[in-house]
């Protein structure tokens, strides 16, 4: 029983990581339709922000807390810059954005290598987050609880922004019908940039969380980019809840399969399951009915 509970928690924590890395992408890819291959590098930017902060603020807990909003700003600014420089010229050519953003991601990787050096670096986790809580034989690692909480907080925040704020209403309006939104007086270009800023910023927040799990390196983003796209594609374009459900389902599936087989077999099985699912439901779990998306 404890095995099942422990593994379920592992699955949920893998899901939380997936959700965090995919959340920004649900906005930029899901809502705006931009295939942003540099999303992983925004994650990296967030992680390095944590690292840099820890050089100047030695209290690990404090620097982690400060890193969260700062990483959001850093990654968001990079994203807004990318949107302003390149992507806004390519909204009608989605497959070109794939190549352009991939090139941008390579440049960011090289930039990180030049600034921070090629070897990966690590941050110190605050003592509080290196421990664990045991409840009846089930172990909850504090760092994983923190990531889970952070993921849920981000989902909640994003939902509130999209549902309740004027900005959210504008974003949804542009997604659903760009022409009509423009006619109604919405500056769609500015909305695009803001959406991209938020989406990229969330990648930065994911980067902060990932410093608790593994090393920070120039190519760390490439480890996560495919998983992030998988979550959004399976979840269905344009829908937050699809990504949330998919992230946790994939996480638990991965954990269960990994426990009973090996990592490689589990990875293959999850991919096969995704392919089979998309054959049955090519539009993903949920779809947004709009007039602009095919």
Partner 1 sequence: MSGLSISRRGLLAGVSALGASAALSACGAKTGEDSSAGSAAKADTSGSTVKVGLLNSLSGTMAISEVTVHNALLLAVEEINAAGGVLGKKLKPVSQDGASDWPTFAEKAEGLIKDDKVVATFGCWTSASRKAVKPVFERYKSLLFYPVQYEGLEQSPYIFYTGATTNQQIVPALDYLKKQGLTRLYLVGSDYVFPRTANKIIKAYAEANGMKVVGEDYAPLGSTEFSTIVNKVKDSGADAVFNTLNGDSNVAFFKEYKSSGLTAKKMPVLSVSIAEEEVKSIGTQYLEGQLTAWNYYQTTPGSANSAFVKAYQAKYGKDRPTSDPMEAAYISVHLWKAMVEKAGSFDVAKVKAASDGITFDAPEGEVTVDGTTQHVHKTARIGKVGADGLIEEVWNSGKPIEPDPYLKGYSWASGLS
Binding site for partner 1 (CB under 8 A): 3, 6-7, 10, 13-14, 17, 32-33, 35, 37, 91-92, 94-95, 98, 102, 113, 118-122, 124-125, 129-132, 134, 139, 141-144, 174, 178-179, 192, 210, 212-215, 217-219, 223, 226, 229, 233, 237, 254-255, 258-259, 262-264, 278, 282-284, 292-294
Minimum Å gap between C-beta 235 and partner 1 is 11
CB nearer partner 1, residue 120 or residue 164: 120
CB nearer partner 1, residue 129 or residue 244: 129
* Of 182, 230, 252, 280, residue with least CA distance to 39: 230
Cβ neighbours for 278, distance < 8 A, ≥ 6 positions apart: 233, 234, 284
Minimum Å gap between C-beta 42 and partner 1 is 17
Q: How far apart are CA 219 and CA 41, in angstroms?
A: 8
Q: How far apart are CA 73 and CA 172, in angstroms?
A: 23
CB nearer partner 1, residue 159 or residue 223: 223
Encoded tokens for 225: 């980019």
Minimum Å gap between C-beta 290 and partner 1 is 10
Say if CB 11 and CB 55 are below 8 A apart: no
Minimum Å gap between C-beta 246 and partner 1 is 13
CB nearer partner 1, residue 73 or residue 254: 254
CA distances from 257 to 45, 76, 138, 237, 267 (A): 32, 36, 19, 27, 8
CB nearer partner 1, residue 151 or residue 255: 255
Say if CB 181 and CB 173 are below 8 A apart: yes
Minimum Å gap between C-beta 120 and partner 1 is 5
């Amino acid at each position: 029983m404890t095995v099942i509970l422990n593994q379920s928690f592992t699955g949920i924590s893998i899901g939380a990581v997936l959700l965090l890395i995919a959340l920004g992408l649900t906005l930029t890819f899901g809502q705006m339709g931009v295939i942003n291959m540099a999303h992983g590098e925004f994650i990296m930017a967030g992680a390095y922000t944590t690292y840099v902060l820890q050089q100047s603020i030695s209290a690990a807990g404090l620097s982690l807390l400060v890193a969260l909003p700062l990483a959001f700003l850093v990654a968001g600014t990079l994203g807004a810059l990318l949107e302003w420089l390149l992507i806004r010229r390519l909204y009608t050519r989605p497959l070109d954005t794939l190549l352009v953003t991939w090139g941008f991601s390579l440049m960011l990787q090289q930039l990180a290598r030049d600034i921070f050096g090629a070897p990966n670096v690590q941050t110190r986790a605050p003592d509080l987050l290196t421990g664990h809580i045991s409840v009846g034989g089930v172990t909850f690692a504090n760092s994983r609880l923190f990531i889970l909480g952070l993921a849920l907080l981000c989902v909640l925040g994003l939902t509130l922004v999209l549902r309740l704020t004027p900005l959210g209403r504008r974003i949804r309006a542009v997604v659903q019908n760009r022409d009509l939104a423009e006619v109604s007086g919405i500056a769609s270009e500015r909305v695009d940039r803001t959406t991209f800023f938020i989406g990229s910023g969330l990648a930065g927040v994911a980067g902060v969380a990932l410093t608790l799990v593994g090393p920070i390196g120039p190519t760390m983003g490439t480890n996560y980019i495919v998983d992030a796209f998988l979550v959004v594609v399976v979840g269905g374009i344009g829908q937050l809840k699809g990504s949330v459900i998919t992230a946790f389902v994939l996480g638990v599936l991965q954990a269960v399969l990994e426990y009973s087989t090996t990592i490689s077999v589990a990875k293959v099985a999850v991919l096969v399951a995704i392919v089979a699912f998309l054959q049955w439901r090519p539009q993903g779990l949920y779809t947004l009915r709009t007039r602009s998306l095919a």
